[in-house]
């Protein structure tokens, strides 16, 4: 798909018209006969008039969804060019088009050939502001779609080494520093938690560290940490077969951090940003870590393992310790993980659970998510749930003694690996709900959504 920014209507094969309730429609009589009332996600193609009408719920995200519905309808036709009016909603329209146009057909033996469409996006006046919004939105959307590709890729084609290779490519493309660490480093630096999770896999674990430094003055220092479980079988606490399907999506947090680093560099944001990913495969075998094992993390804390399927928090524990030991004077730490099914049970498939010790900061992250078009809400820590992850034989247990509040107790577990001076700078984002959904929703396709990227970029832009 090719996007053109234009000031006046140019000749196009078809118009995509977004309908809001107050809109006066030239084809009102025909639309009424077709029972089109402009409801959210409704769409009709008037072939003779060469117009695609799309309903909209009159919100910013409604505009994104409407643009996505429009481009999907266009792709069902042989029309090559289309026009759509954006004006003050330029960002939303571009995101809807770019994110709604995404497809993943890597594994189809007979790929449907889709001829490239050209979309003329009409605004009243093209100033430098519009040009900047256009380019920024395209860059961020491309990064989101890259994350979708990573997450959708089958586990046999995307294991820790491949994830590290993708990080190296992103680093080369964006002039980032890139460091890849493995088992020898884990052993030498007391990182027994991450080392244990991946040791039964034939694919060696990797810790990926990308660093972006802006060309101008550095305003803040940000750390982004991602859970990159390229596949999670559950380990010896083996998942039921139905629950094992879609576990290629357990790399969504790490993949999102890769996408964030790509977007941050392309936007030249004025922050020093470190992207740290624990790329690990949790498998079974004679060398697998076991329930009843006691692991020692990089900060010296001991962890009683009672369930090897609560492995993401073990990987993140060492990644968070590594980040705080290697990077000084951090302003913000954000981690991203498909960490718990409990988050999905609690807030649904489409919403990210935001946690931390700093209520004001968690609210800011939620607001950034909502402003960017992602759904998010806060889940509060409390001292009573903190007691449920205490261990009688080690410092801490990797699962709670209660089945309730599992998303929060997982977040509280991670808090044990945040240094006191960073407690109020840290935010945990459980993206288990929106990261991978087995149905199309809004402008998101079946499968990976690229959750976390737009939210984080919005948060950084507003600092």
Q: Which residues are catalytic?
A: 239, 313
CA distances from 134 to 5, 32, 109, 137, 139 (A): 8, 35, 35, 5, 9
Q: Among the residues of 155-240, which ranges form H helices?
A: 160-174, 183-188, 192-198
Give the pair of three-digit tokens for residue 431: 């993206």
Distance CA 254, CA 275 (A): 9
Distance CA 257, CA 223 (A): 10
* Residue pair 192/242 in contact by the 8 Å Cβ criterion: no
Environment class of residue 115 by beta-carbon count within 10 Å: exposed (0-12), middle (13-18) or buried (19+)?
exposed
Give the bridge partners for 210, in sequence order: 178, 275
Distance CA 130, CA 6 (A): 10
Q: Look at residues 91, 34, 36, 45 and name the one whose alpha carbon lies nearest to residue 67.
A: 91
Give the pair of three-digit tokens for residue 459: 């948060």
Q: Look at residues 353, 339, 321 and name the one whose alpha carbon lies nearest to residue 398.
A: 339
Q: Look at residues 290, 286, 322 and name the one whose alpha carbon lies nearest to residue 303.
A: 290
């Amino acid at each position: 798909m090719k996007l053109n920014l234009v000031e006046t209507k140019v000749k196009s094969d078809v118009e995509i018209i977004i309908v809001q309730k107050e809109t006066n429609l030239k084809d009102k009589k025909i639309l009424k006969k077709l029972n089109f009332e402009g409801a959210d996600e409704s769409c009709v193609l008037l072939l003779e008039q060469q117009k695609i009408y799309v309903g909209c719920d009159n919100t910013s995200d409604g505009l994104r969804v409407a643009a996505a519905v429009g481009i999907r309808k266009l792709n069902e036709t042989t029309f090559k060019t289309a026009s759509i009016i954006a004006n003050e909603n330029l960002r939303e329209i571009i995101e809807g088009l770019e994110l709604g146009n995404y497809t993943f057909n890597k594994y189809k033996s007979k790929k449907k050939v889709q001829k490239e469409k050209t979309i003329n996006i009409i605004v009243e006046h093209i100033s430098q502001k519009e040009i900047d919004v256009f380019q920024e939105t395209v860059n961020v959307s491309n990064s989101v779609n890259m994350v979708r590709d990573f997450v959708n890729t089958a586990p046999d084609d995307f294991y820790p080494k491949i994830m590290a290779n993708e990080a190296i490519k992103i680093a080369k493309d964006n002039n980032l520093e890139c460091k890849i660490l493995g088992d020898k480093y884990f052993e030498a630096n007391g990182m027994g938690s991450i080392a244990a999770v991946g040791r039964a896999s034939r694919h060696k674990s990797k810790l990926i560290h990308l660093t972006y430094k802006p060309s101008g003055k550095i305003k803040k220092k940000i750390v982004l940490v991602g859970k990159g479980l390229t596949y999670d079988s559950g380990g010896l606490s083996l998942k039921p077969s139905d629950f094992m399907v879609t576990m290629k999506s357990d790399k969504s947090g790490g993949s999102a951090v890769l996408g964030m680093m790509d977007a941050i560099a392309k936007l030249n944001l004025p922050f020093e940003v470190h992207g740290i990913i624990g790329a690990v495969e949790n498998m079974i075998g004679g060398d697998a870590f076991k329930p009843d094992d006691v692991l020692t993390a990089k900060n010296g804390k001991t962890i009683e393992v009672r369930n090897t399927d609560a492995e993401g928090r073990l990987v993140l524990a060492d990644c968070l310790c590594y980040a705080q030991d290697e990077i000084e004077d951090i302003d913000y730490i954000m981690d991203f993980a498909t960490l718990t099914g409990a988050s999905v049970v609690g807030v649904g498939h489409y919403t990210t659970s935001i946690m931390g010790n700093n209520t004001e900061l968690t609210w800011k992250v939620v607001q950034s998510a909502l402003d960017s078009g992602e759904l998010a809400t806060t889940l509060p820590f409390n001292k009573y749930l903190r007691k449920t992850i205490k261990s009688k034989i080690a410092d801490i247990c990797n699962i709670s003694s209660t089945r309730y509040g599992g998303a929060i107790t997982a977040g509280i577990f991670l808090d044990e690996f945040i240094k006191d001076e960073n407690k109020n700078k840290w935010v945990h984002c459980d993206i288990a709900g929106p990261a991978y959904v087995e149905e199309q929703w809004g402008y998101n396709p079946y499968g990976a959504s690229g959750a976390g990227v737009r939210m984080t970029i919005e948060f950084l832009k507003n600092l």
